[in-house]
Structure 1
Amino acid sequence: MSGKLVAWIISLLQHRDWIGSLGVKPLGLLMGILSLSCCGLSGFGGLIRNSFGSFLGGFYGVKSQASILYAKIMVMLHGLELCWDKRFKHVICFLDSLQTVTLVKNGVSPHHKFANEFFSIHQLLDRDWNVVINHTLREGNACADMLAKMGANTISPLVKLVVPPSELSPHLFADAWGVTFVRE
């Protein structure tokens, strides 16, 4: 069988050197994105879990902005704001958009269409906390993808979650067991 094994827990374990150097258990901020081109809306969603996979919070919503990149930027912004508001000091952020991760890490021109949003993300990152931002494959981000689908089916711009919705349970369970998926 050819392909790449993908799982949330594998992504987290790749950061064990960074985790060990902190001497604490960081939180994994997982984010996902879903685009519905048929109706011009972009659903987004994300969740916060501890290093054991336990649900600590989440969010989903919809953006009417036609740009998928905008929705991906906003999901990162909302997720980081939620972590800061909850006073988490050590966060690993996984986003299934390599383009957004690259733009955040490398910066954008002040003339970029979404320069203000990137500036807001960088202001958050410059605060007194440890945040690592990395790309993950969509297959390893099933929980966030499920929340993004919920976002695409709502009219609310942002819904914050204290407990996981029941639809998320099978995905959280699969992640806790370390279920892997093959990406061809």
Structure 2
Amino acid sequence: MFNTDGASRQGITAGCGGLLRNSSGHWLGGFSRHLGRCNAYLAELWGVFDGLTFAYDKGFKKIVLHVDSNVVVQTLQSDRDGSVVGWRLIQEIQRLLVMDWEVRICHSYRESNACVDALANLGCDHEPGMRVYEQCPTSLSSLLLADVMGITTPRVISL
């Protein structure tokens, strides 16, 4: 299973992150990237692009990619090119999707994986470029444990 996320702090700074786990939920690898200035939609797309590249480079041939942006999931599953915003990045993601592997993209709520949200926020805070984490960063270990145990934050929905 692979989760990606993007974070944008009021258009001032943005980051993305990804977390690759085995079927038991244990850490296989992760990354964060500082993106500079962009909106949340582009940060999410960067997370997907970097995540797919990361998984492919690690040799995975079958992944389920969970993204918490329903708009990004719908854009990537659509036959249309989408909006002008992120058009080139969407093309690059679609190029990755048709390579010699099987990728299924699913929507998941942000509350279902606090770990990847924390990685995206780490990306906002570090210097430009990508950081790869072979082991879970200490600052995320309690979040990963909660994810493995199935402990999630409740989603509040106004009626």
CA distance in 1, matches of 2:111, 2:20: 17
* 5+ residue gaps, structure 2: none
Q: Secondary structure at the match of 1:158?
A: strand
Aligned: 1:147 with 2:119: yes
Larger Rg: 1
CA distance in 2, matches of 1:115, 1:47: 25
Q: What's the offset of the Cα at 1:70? A: 1.3
TM-score when scaled to structure 1? 0.79
Describe how 1:28-177 pairs up with structure 2 within 5 A.
28-37=1-10, 40-109=12-81, 112-177=84-149
Q: Provide the aligned length of Structure 1 versus Structure 2.
A: 156
CA distance in 2, matches of 1:125, 1:95: 15
Cα pair 1:96 1:141 within 8 Å, conserved: no
Q: For each residue in 1:43-64, what CA deviation from the matched residue of structure 2 results, as whole angstroms up to 9, or x when unmatched?
A: 2111100111111111101112
TM-score when scaled to structure 2? 0.91
Identity of aligned residues (%): 31
CA distance in 1, matches of 2:121, 2:45: 17
* 5+ residue gaps, structure 1: 1-27
CA distance in 1, matches of 2:144, 2:82: 39
Q: For each residue in 1:143-182, what CA deviation from the matched residue of structure 2 results, as whole angstroms up to 9, or x when unmatched?
A: 1011111111111221111111001110111111111332
Cα pair 2:2 2:64 within 8 Å, conserved: yes
CA distance in 1, matches of 2:34, 2:145: 26
How large is the RMSD of aligned CA atoms in angstroms?
A: 1.6
Q: What's the offset of the Cα at 1:107? A: 4.0
Q: Secondary structure at the match of 1:183?
A: coil
Cα pair 1:32 1:44 within 8 Å, conserved: yes
